[in-house]
């Protein structure tokens, strides 16, 4: 096909997707939909120069016969909306987490197999630029085998109530202002570990691996803003290649938001913290007493548009999804990879409910995992910034 005809479902989070797809040369937005009037009115400002219809009902959008639908609706509805689009003959780019139950994931997989349409999980964190270097360095054996990896998703989300206008409110604000007609949001009782794709997905791609079992424990529920969910959960996954991956997710602890990632190799290690925006590296050729090297790689590459949502990763998600379909290729994070990113969080919560009992991860791929083709889409860097001594750099700061 010459251009991908795209429809956008959900105009709160989907407004970013709308803007990005409008910018793509090989895509054309043919319509967008949201049941909430406030979000439709806001979207009208974005689509005004493009004459894109904004409708209320999903069925109206599907009736426009788009080639692909971006599902950015309420997360509890994403699986059903994805299946509905697939059954209508559309490819799907779905927001995360994509599903809340194993049977929902199974229904999406079955719909893909039945319809022949493609499904991509819009896990934007996988497109952070520093991950390309990490995968390259592992392939060059700069760290030796990676025996342990870690990631943290720290995001304080006290807004667990929603009103009829789609506005997110904290329970304390509702009480203080005596706001009526509110209900719990989809995140109000969500097990935090369900929202682990921002952490697990990037690490699985970097390691070219998948997970086979998990044990998980839950923290208390002490937050007055989110009493229906645990203040945080920590999961320990075993991978198919024998490594361990530790994931922590907290949505209730008041602190600056962050993504943090660490690799522990037998001959070297690497770390990246979003609040710093650069990588610390100790390669196999560097002595421990020399300390870390600082390598200036971050969320976006030098030529990326950092304003395009989440440091440019939202635009990359739209770009690589569109390019794959226009070229007749498999999308970078297909339905089976989605199951390997999302299902482990669901199974981790089951482990936590059983007091940390180990739980096997169901494999929904038709055959054994033989490796990801993600890097064939994104590519690896040919050059890299020169590392410099982190200790000296730190000393200059202070």
What are the backbone angles phi and psi of residue 368, rounded to the nearest 5°?
A: -65, 150
Those residues whose C-beta lies under 8 Å from the C-beta of residue 261, and which sit 6 or more positions away, are: 149, 150, 151, 199, 202, 203, 271, 272, 273
Mean local confidence (pLDDT), 227-256: 98
- What length does the chain have? 398
pLDDT for 327 beyond 80: yes
Mean local confidence (pLDDT), 113-134: 98
Domains assigned to the chain: 4-117 (3.40.50.720), 128-302+334-397 (3.30.360.10)
For the chain, what is the radius of gyration of the CA atoms?
21
Mean local confidence (pLDDT), 375-396: 87
pLDDT for 391 beyond 80: no
pTM assigned to the model = 0.96
- Classified as helix, coil or strand, 367 is coil
Count of Cβ atoms closer than 10 Å to residue 242 Cβ:
10
Nearest Cα neighbor of 235 from 223, 222, 250 is 250
pLDDT bin (cut points 50, 70, 90) of residue 57 is very high
Note the pLDDT of residue 305: 79
Buried b (16+ CB within 10 A) or exposed e, 131-149: bbbbbbbbeeebbeebeeb
Those residues whose C-beta lies under 8 Å from the C-beta of residue 351, and which sit 6 or more positions away, are: 214, 215, 216, 235, 357, 358, 359
Q: Quick check: 60 and 33 in contact, CB under 8 A?
A: yes
Note the pLDDT of residue 394: 62
Note the pLDDT of residue 1: 80
Note the pLDDT of residue 306: 72
pLDDT bin (cut points 50, 70, 90) of residue 187 is very high
Those residues whose C-beta lies under 8 Å from the C-beta of residue 286, and which sit 6 or more positions away, are: 268, 293
Would you call the peptide bond into 97 cis, given omega within 30 degrees of 0 as the criterion? yes
pLDDT for 41 beyond 50: yes
> Residue 221 has which token pair?
């529920």
Note the pLDDT of residue 308: 76
pLDDT bin (cut points 50, 70, 90) of residue 398 is very low
Note the pLDDT of residue 395: 59
CA distance 263 to 206: 10
pLDDT bin (cut points 50, 70, 90) of residue 396 is low
Mean local confidence (pLDDT), 139-164: 97
């Amino acid at each position: 096909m010459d251009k991908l005809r795209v429809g956008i479902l959900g105009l709160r989070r989907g407004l970013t997707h709308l803007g990005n797809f409008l910018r793509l040369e090989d895509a054309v937005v043919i319509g967008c939909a949201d049941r909430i009037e406030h979000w439709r009115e806001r979207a009208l400002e974005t689509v005004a120069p493009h004459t894109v219809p904004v409708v209320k009902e999903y069925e109206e959008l599907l009736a426009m016969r788009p080639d692909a639908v971006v599902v950015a609706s309420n997360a509890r509805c994403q699986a059903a909306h994805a299946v509905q689009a697939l059954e209508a003959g559309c490819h799907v780019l779905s927001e995360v987490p994509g599903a809340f139950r194993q049977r929902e994931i199974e229904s999406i997989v079955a719909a893909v197999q039945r319809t022949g349409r493609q499904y991509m999980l819009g896990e934007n964190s996988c497109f952070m630029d520093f991950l390309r270097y990490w995968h390259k360095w592992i392939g060059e054996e700069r760290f030796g085998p990676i025996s342990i990896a870690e990631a943290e998703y720290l995001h304080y989300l006290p807004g667990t109530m929603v009103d009829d206008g789609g506005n997110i409110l904290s329970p304390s604000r509702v009480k203080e202002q005596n706001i009526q007609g509110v209900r719990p949001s989809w995140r109000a009782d969500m097990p935090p570990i369900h929202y682990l794709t921002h952490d697990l997905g990037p690490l699985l791609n970097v390691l070219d691996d998948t997970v086979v079992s998990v044990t998980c424990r839950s923290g208390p529920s002490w937050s007055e803003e989110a009493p229906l969910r645990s203040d945080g959960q920590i999961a320990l996954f075993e991978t198919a290649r024998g490594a361990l991956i530790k994931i922590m997710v907290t949505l209730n602890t008041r602190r600056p938001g962050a993504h943090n990632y660490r690799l522990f190799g037998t001959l070297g290690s690497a770390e990246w913290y979003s609040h710093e925006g650069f990588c610390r590296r100790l390669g196999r050729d560097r002595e421990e007493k020399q300390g870390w090297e600082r390598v200036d790689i971050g969320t976006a590459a030098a030529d990326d548009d950092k304003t395009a949502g989440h440091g440019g990763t939202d635009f990359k998600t739209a770009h690589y999804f569109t390019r794959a379909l226009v070229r007749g290729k498999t999308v970078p994070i297909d339905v089976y990879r989605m199951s390997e990113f999302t299902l482990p969080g669901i199974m981790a919560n089951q482990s936590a409910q059983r007091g940390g009992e180990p739980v096997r991860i169901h494999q929904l791929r038709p055959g054994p995992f033989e490796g990801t083709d993600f890097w064939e889409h994104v590519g690896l860097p040919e050059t890299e910034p020169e590392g410099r001594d982190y200790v000296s750099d730190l000393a200059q700061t202070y």
